[in-house]
Amino acid sequence: MTIATAGLERRAQIVSAWSFDVFDTFLLRACSTPDGVFERTYELSGISSICPNVSANFVQHRIQAEARARRTEKDKRGASEVHIAEIYSYFPFRLFGLTRRSLDDLVESEFAAELELCRANPDMLQQYMDMNGAGHRVGFISDTYWDSDRLARLLRACRPGLTWDFLYASCDHGSSKSEALFAKYLANEAIDASASFHVGDNDKADIRGAKRHGIRPRYYPQATPQLASTFQRESALFELLCQGVPSRLDHGARTLRRMVAARSAERSPAFHLGMTVLGPVTTAFDAFVAGRCEEVAGPGRKVALAFLGRDGFLPHRVWQELHGTTAAYLEINRRVSLIASADTMQPLVDLLDKVFRIDALTLRDMIKILPPRVAAFFANYPDGIAPGEDLAQALPELMDAGEIAELAAALRARLLAYLRQTIPGFDNFTDLVLADLGYSGSVQKALRRVFEIEGIKIRLHGAYLLSLDDAFDDIDEKDSAAGFISDLVVTPHVKRMLIRNIALVEQICCSADGSVRDYDGDQVLREINPRPASQIALAAEIQAGALAFAEKAEDIALDLCLAPYATQDVAARWCAATLARLMLLPDEGELALLGGLKHDVNLGTHALAPMIDADFIRRQITARGLSAACTAAAPPMWLAGTFAHLSPSNAYLYALFGANRLPANVFEETPCGPVQIGLFRTNGEATLESVTVHRTGLGELRLRIPLSRAMGIAVIALPLPKFAAEGLLHGVTMQSDDDIRDAAESQAVTGIAIESLVFAGVQRNGAHYRTENEDACLLIPVTPMTHDIAIYSVAITPLVSTPK
């Protein structure tokens, strides 16, 4: 026992000093990146009123001024450490309407920004106090342009009464931690390096710098490499999608995300995704929904809140986590609400017009009857499956409006019985807030018609994560609708790109049940749920991560004095960037995790649509070009993920297109000359035809070869040496229709199997080929034509220049 006690005392003597890095370790900033301090300086200095809407310009000039100051000092003294005043001496004052007399004002404004944005890191503060209480010497070593006096003021402003044994600012000593600052600290404080620790976030300065001097480092990274990469992509998308607004002042939303992640045990990649991406978005949306309820409330009003299933399942769970059982979960979808509101044929026609394909049994399940004329209509289609658009056009002639009205009245009665069961005291409420992912308020509008038919006076108010705001103009004047990520947050172009890819988020957020089809008292009758159990389990794990974020975020925000959701437009912009990053620029891990998800079509079918189909998008690019591929209709449901599956750069090009930042004259194809191709007919005759070779903005060559059935072509011969003697063959595709324009625009693109192609006089290894002589050809067999016109397209990246 005496020996053990002596050992403990010995170890206590060895560990005698703990030094802490200051910025991004002991102090955290309530902004997305450290240069958010410069963005806030732009505002506090008053330059924002002299030169409005140029915060990015100010930030970049502040960064450049620091770089010039450090280069100058390096050239003069061999060390690059500078004071803040030296930095601003290189600032372009005149550009921003200032004189050099403004230097001190800029310094004071930047320090005021630091005082406003910096927070003591609770985790580091606890460790600091523990070491201090244990009798160890504690203090700070910082690479900074703030001198020790200002650094001390900042530390005590963030933690009043804080004391230390030493404090070293690199600018006071003309040397950084990567250079000689640690050596000065050890010598001045007479500390044995082996008896000291240093805690910091910078691998080069804090970790390798400490090791070089024998100090034991403790690494405290701001974020994992994966999370740091996510943040970098989010920042890029923020600047692309939310132009003209401050891009770094997020009121601490990113800092909160980092701290929640740091304090949470990793369970799985799916849990991590929910905690770091979906959790922040749904928690911010929760604050928006709470704000909507407060807006609606007032004297004489009694407000109920309901989340619409299935997509509102996760937001409802977040609400329960943060507010308890103060909201209902309503399983109402567009189909049920539209049919219930149908006092005429039109709502049903509108619904069917948006259905891809439907059969007789499914329609009967929807409307409970199948009149003989409707059954006869389906009998005219292959396998009894008709396009929804065709049925919508024919329905007014196939059914009597009175039959629809009778069916609607019965469903309406069941729907209202369900509402009264699910929302106790339903008829006593004056207002009902409907929270949902969005988008055009179709369920809200249908419920308004239901309420009007039944004489229910309750006002309806939509609270949507994403909104198609131009669809809200026909909402009843006593009702309201608002989107968190509205068209004032991102442009309508961007919004439509996000909604084109929202099926991914829908599948993650929705419940494990099938979609509602009817009601029996308080019981919900649901569609079959064809989604595999593995997909349901994956969504549940992501949702668990999102709930973990919501659970921890409030307490951590209080610890750090953060209010990331207090300013709605700021929170909405960063949520737009966070959501867009997941949908538009997923990383490889997310693609592997989510790419196999399926979207269930419902309507009584077992149909599952793929999220990703890389072959599909490659064929679209080959046949129709990049811009046309960017507008491809579903499926695949996750178009951006499909582009990302090809490459991250393809995903970013898609994002640029959706943001209206992809100039057609740069990325679309331009003609670069004709080439003679051979056409061999089935009767053995051969002719030469001239087709145009096009070059795309990505350097690929495109040939499009139109054929008519009357030509009787059996084989197409491409003389590769004439335009691409060596290259990568991306594919050969075929489109067909009875009109050449319709064929060219058709999304039904068939890929020609590479095994069916004949490489005559050509060496090939996978996609790569090299011609062996001037007579080499790529022979493309022409399949039997079922339409009058077929267009064959070939896409090649040339690897050597071909002489003209």
DSSP 724-754: -SEEEEEEEEEEEESSHHHHHH-S--EEPPG
Backbone angles phi, psi at 256, to 5 degrees: -60, -45
Integer Cα distance of 642 and 636 in angstroms = 8
pLDDT value of residue 754: 93
Q: Is 201 helix (H, G, I), strand (E, B) or coil?
A: coil
Integer Cα distance of 93 and 410 in angstroms = 74
User: Mean pLDDT across the stretch 33-56?
Assistant: 96
Round to the nearest angstrom and report the end-to-end CA distance of the chain.
Answer: 92
pLDDT value of residue 668: 83
Confidence of residue 363 (pLDDT cuts 50, 70, 90): confident
DSSP assignment of 83-107 equals: -HHHHHTTS-TGGGT--GGGHHHHH
Q: Is the pLDDT of residue 721 over 90?
A: yes
User: Mean pLDDT across the stretch 402-413?
Assistant: 87
- Which of 60-74, 280-294, 355-369, 489-503 is the least confident region? 355-369
Nearest to 717 by CA among 686, 673, 674: 686
pLDDT value of residue 153: 98
Q: Is the pLDDT of residue 9 over 70?
A: no
Residue 61 parent element (H or E)? helix 55-77
User: Mean pLDDT across the stretch 574-586?
Assistant: 97
Nearest to 21 by CA among 209, 262, 179, 188: 209
User: Mean pLDDT across the stretch 372-385?
Assistant: 87
pLDDT value of residue 606: 64
Question: In the beta sheet, which residues pair with residue 777?
Answer: 760
Confidence of residue 14 (pLDDT cuts 50, 70, 90): very low
User: Mean pLDDT across the stretch 618-636?
Assistant: 94
User: Mean pLDDT across the stretch 358-370?
Assistant: 77
Q: Is the pLDDT of residue 467 over 60?
A: yes
pLDDT value of residue 265: 82
Nearest to 475 by CA among 506, 452, 500, 502: 452
Q: Is the pLDDT of residue 801 over 70?
A: no
Whole-number percent of the chain with pLDDT over 90 = 82
Confidence of residue 605 (pLDDT cuts 50, 70, 90): low
pLDDT value of residue 397: 85
Nearest to 462 by CA among 441, 485, 446, 476: 441
User: Mean pLDDT across the stretch 131-146?
Assistant: 96
pLDDT value of residue 580: 97
pLDDT value of residue 12: 41
Confidence of residue 604 (pLDDT cuts 50, 70, 90): low
615-644 CB burial, b ≥16 within 10 A, e <16: ebbbbbbbbbbbeebbebeebbbbbbbbbb
Residue 593 contacts residue 273 (beta carbons within 8 Å)? yes
- Which of 264-268, 350-354, 648-652 is the least confident region? 350-354
User: Mean pLDDT across the stretch 181-198?
Assistant: 94
CA dist 684 → 680, 715, 756 (Å): 6, 10, 20
Residue 399 contacts residue 460 (beta carbons within 8 Å)? no
> For the purposes of burial, counting CB atoms within 10 Å of the CB of 782, is it exposed (0-12), middle (13-18) or buried (19 or more)?
buried
pLDDT value of residue 6: 42
Confidence of residue 238 (pLDDT cuts 50, 70, 90): very high
Q: Return the number of other C-beta atoms located less than 10 Å from residue 163's C-beta.
A: 10
Pairing between β-strand 480-485 and β-strand 459-466 as defined by DSSP bridges: parallel
Q: Residues 27-41: pLDDT tens digits?
A: 999 999 999 999 999
User: Mean pLDDT across the stretch 541-563?
Assistant: 96
Looking at this protein, which amino acid is placed at residue 280? P
CA dist 105 → 36, 81, 509, 517, 609 (Å): 18, 22, 49, 66, 60
Nearest to 333 by CA among 346, 318, 316, 351: 351
Q: Would residue 220 be called left, alpha or beta, if left means φ above 0 and alpha means ψ between -120 and 50 degrees?
A: beta
Whole-number percent of the chain with pLDDT over 70 = 97
Integer Cα distance of 57 and 42 in angstroms = 10
pLDDT value of residue 2: 44
User: Mean pLDDT across the stretch 404-425?
Assistant: 93
Residue 530 contacts residue 515 (beta carbons within 8 Å)? no
* Helix, strand, coil fractions of the chain, as percent rounded to 5: 50, 20, 30
Mean pLDDT of the chain: 92
Confidence of residue 13 (pLDDT cuts 50, 70, 90): very low
pLDDT value of residue 213: 95
Domains within the chain, CATH numbers bracketed: 17-220 (3.40.50.1000), 612-665 (no CATH), 669-798 (no CATH)
Q: Across 521-662, where does the E strand assignment appear?
A: 523-526, 598-600, 608-610
pLDDT value of residue 357: 77
User: Mean pLDDT across the stretch 169-178?
Assistant: 96
Q: Is the pLDDT of residue 555 over 70?
A: yes
Confidence of residue 388 (pLDDT cuts 50, 70, 90): confident
Looking at this protein, which amino acid is placed at residue 339? I
Nearest to 476 by CA among 516, 447, 500, 502: 447
- Which of 217-226, 397-406, 509-518 is the least confident region? 397-406
User: Mean pLDDT across the stretch 258-264?
Assistant: 93
Nearest to 106 by CA among 84, 124, 127: 84
Q: Residues 728-758: pLDDT tens digits?
A: 999 999 999 999 999 999 999 999 999 999 9
Residue 188 parent element (H or E)? helix 181-189
Which pTM value belongs to this model?
Answer: 0.91
Task: Using the Cα atoms of residue 250, residue 256, residue 257 and residue 259 in order, give the sign of their dihedral.
Answer: positive
Residue 262 contacts residue 123 (beta carbons within 8 Å)? yes
Nearest to 341 by CA among 409, 402, 395, 401: 409
Q: Is the pLDDT of residue 384 over 90?
A: no
Confidence of residue 4 (pLDDT cuts 50, 70, 90): very low
User: Mean pLDDT across the stretch 591-620?
Assistant: 87
